[in-house]
Structure 1
Amino acid sequence: MASSRVTVIGASGLVGQALTRVLESHRYEVRGTYASRPAEGRTRLDLTDAAQVRDYFVRVQPQAVFLTAALTHVDYCEGHPEEAFRINAEGAKSVATEAARYGSKLVFYSTDYVFDGSDGPYDEGAQPSPVSVYGKSKLEAEKTVQTILKDALILRTTVVFGWDRSSKNFAMQVYHELQAGKPMRVPEDQFGNPTLVDYLAEASVRLFQQGTHGVVNVVGKDLLSRADFGKALAKVFGLDPALVQPVATSALQQRAQRPLRGGLKTEKLSQLLGIQAMPLEEALKRLRRQWRADV
């Protein structure tokens, strides 16, 4: 791949930070943006301001763009649909429009929330049917990106986790709650593929370097409930798994409907990369090493 100057939009987030590390290890010149979490060497970029997005591309003219930034708080999106669509859908449209103008390759991150969760896990050809504002906004973004850029790479992922004290990803929630000795109610009827963020970033860069386009699921190999994942995390951190209390999703009275039987299939990913998706056991071993190195 000839591209050398790349932009990570959302570089201060969990996925953006991991992507930056991997891209820099491959000798790419990485420019990063942030929305609300300033970081050294990063540029503030408001995705809802099309003129600001245009000006950024004029200045940087990246050969490739990884769009990780999004409004991902599912219940917040449900109560603020206009904001969710402005950031997730209109923001993606602005980026795709400028990427097309400058001939930039676009890698866009999506979610299994584009499905209703009635019969997952889903492959790339399954018919989307989102049940939440968040899922609808991401599906709208997918469609817009594919309309504007025929060679865009859309990566669907789910239950992304990693060791990052400033992050609120599920692994960190489990760590902080259980370390404080607090019980944590976790859904036993929501299923997905836990995906280590480092693995997501590594697979993303490999697919980008191969010139892959279209939709690809990039998730961990194993499908399990959030409650079972929470207990597995507790063991990794040497905490009491009994503090993870399995409950029905309905008991949590969450504002937005969740795709219960979600998750994504990995056969296409394995075929493209020539290796199987990362098993949870391996992902947890890597997480444990990161945790031990930081405490």
Structure 2
Amino acid sequence: MRVAVTGGTGLVGRFIVNDLLREGHDVTVMTRRPPLPDFFAKHAAHQFYDLDADVPDLKRLDAIVHAAFDHVPGRYRGGEGDDPEGFLRRNLDGSLRLFDAAAEAGRRVVFISTRAVYGPQNGMLTEDMVCRPDTLYGKAKLQAEKALLASGQQATVLRVTGVYGPPGPGQRHKWADLFDDFAAGKRIAPRVGTEVHGDCLAIAVGRGLDGADGIYNVSDIVLDRRDLLEEWRAVTGIDGRLPDRADASAISRMSTEKLEKTGYWPGGIEWLRSALREIAEQAGILPKGA
């Protein structure tokens, strides 16, 4: 299949591109800047793409995975910074232009959305519940979801939780600052959240490309910072000040039952431990293959 991935050089997009390449797809990365050499597992073509610009011709493609999102570095919620109008113009209007172009070309779309569309909720998050986003990020993603699904084209919406995993060349992984603070003995605030390995997300993208239309939650483990840092200490031997345990009742789990029926499987704690070992190896803390 000929697949384009917008935002393919991002922390999340790289997992998707690498998985598609491993599966033998012809992949085009659509970003403002071309990837660094050896950024992906294999060669991927590059097409200039900017959310603020016109959409390139999509007729040569079979499907588009839309993972591009413009935001303040390191922040999704609050990612608009002091420019909410520009944030919406780029991310919402830009996504709608892409969806319109895909519909005109008759191409399937897999849209990387977010658990933030649900907003504050009690209990298990399921795809059929009423969404009440309380951030501009969640509101923009929800509006884009609705427009895509209302178009009648072949489309998959993946509501994704926090994504973790080893970074690519020139990238810092999502917990880099946290691990640095831990090693420095700094006080760390308690926090708990839901997480999913980037390779699990890539599996979900594959199910979408295979024809699983509609909305699907993509999540895996509920992870407390204290547990994460204990795992990091066990892998690396690095010690620091562990935070207090956060209130786990304050976080709603995401049901992935619907997605699991398509062949998706969560990686669980073993995928987390494997990712931490690889992160430690990349940082030179552990020897390769330790």
TM-score clears 0.5: yes
Contact 2:219/2:256, CA 8 A, preserved across alignment: yes
Query: 1:42 corresponds to which residue?
Result: 46
User: How much does 1:244 deviate?
Assistant: 4.4
User: How much does 1:152 deviate?
Assistant: 0.7
* Cα distance in structure 1, aligned partners of 2:116 and 2:190: 16
**Counterpart amino acid of residue 266 in structure 2:** A
**Counterpart amino acid of residue 66 in structure 2:** L
Please give the per-residue CA displacement for 1:153-182, whole angstroms capped at 9, x wherever unaligned: 001111111111644543333334334x15
Query: 1:15 corresponds to which residue?
Result: 12
Candidates 240, 262, 287, aligned match of 1:272: 262
Query: 2:288 corresponds to which residue?
Result: none
3-state SS, counterpart of residue 188 of structure 2: strand
Alignment of 1:171 onto 2:175: yes
User: How much does 1:248 deviate?
Assistant: 7.8
Query: 2:188 corresponds to which residue?
Result: 185
**Counterpart amino acid of residue 49 in structure 2:** L
Q: Equivalent residues in 2 for 1:53-68 (5 A)? A: 53=55, 56-57=56-57, 61-68=60-67
Alignment of 1:243 onto 2:241: yes
Alignment of 1:31 onto 2:28: yes
Contact 1:183/1:244, CA 8 A, preserved across alignment: no
3-state SS, counterpart of residue 173 of structure 1: helix
* Cα distance in structure 2, aligned partners of 1:229 and 1:12: 26
3-state SS, counterpart of residue 122 of structure 1: coil
Distance 1:35 1:234, change over 3 A: farther
Candidates 126, 129, 153, aligned match of 2:129: 126
Contact 1:85/1:137, CA 8 A, preserved across alignment: yes
* Cα distance in structure 2, aligned partners of 1:20 and 1:197: 11
Distance 1:173 1:200, change over 3 A: farther
* Cα distance in structure 2, aligned partners of 1:79 and 1:282: 40
3-state SS, counterpart of residue 192 of structure 1: strand
Contact 2:195/2:222, CA 8 A, preserved across alignment: yes
Long gaps (5+) in structure 1: 250-259
3-state SS, counterpart of residue 57 of structure 2: helix
Query: 1:77 corresponds to which residue?
Result: 80
User: How much does 1:13 deviate?
Assistant: 0.5
* Cα distance in structure 2, aligned partners of 1:110 and 1:265: 15
Which has a greater percent of helix?
1
**Counterpart amino acid of residue 174 in structure 1:** L
* Cα distance in structure 2, aligned partners of 1:88 and 1:232: 36
User: How much does 1:293 deviate?
Assistant: 4.3
Contact 2:116/2:137, CA 8 A, preserved across alignment: yes
3-state SS, counterpart of residue 285 of structure 1: helix
Long gaps (5+) in structure 2: 38-44, 285-290
**Counterpart amino acid of residue 204 in structure 1:** V
Query: 1:99 corresponds to which residue?
Result: 102
User: How much does 1:102 deviate?
Assistant: 0.9
* Cα distance in structure 1, aligned partners of 2:87 and 2:204: 27
User: How much does 1:187 deviate?
Assistant: 3.9
User: How much does 1:289 deviate?
Assistant: 4.0
User: How much does 1:226 deviate?
Assistant: 4.5
Distance 1:237 1:171, change over 3 A: farther
3-state SS, counterpart of residue 106 of structure 1: strand
Distance 1:143 1:39, change over 3 A: farther
Contact 2:225/2:243, CA 8 A, preserved across alignment: no
User: How much does 1:5 deviate?
Assistant: 0.9
Alignment of 1:290 onto 2:278: yes
Distance 1:47 1:79, change over 3 A: same
3-state SS, counterpart of residue 212 of structure 1: coil
Question: How many equivalent pairs are there?
Answer: 269
Query: 1:144 corresponds to which residue?
Result: 147
RMSD: 2.6
The percent of aligned pairs where both chains have the same amino acid is: 26
* Cα distance in structure 1, aligned partners of 2:172 and 2:281: 19
Query: 2:210 corresponds to which residue?
Result: 210
| Length-normalised TM-score, structure 1 | 0.80
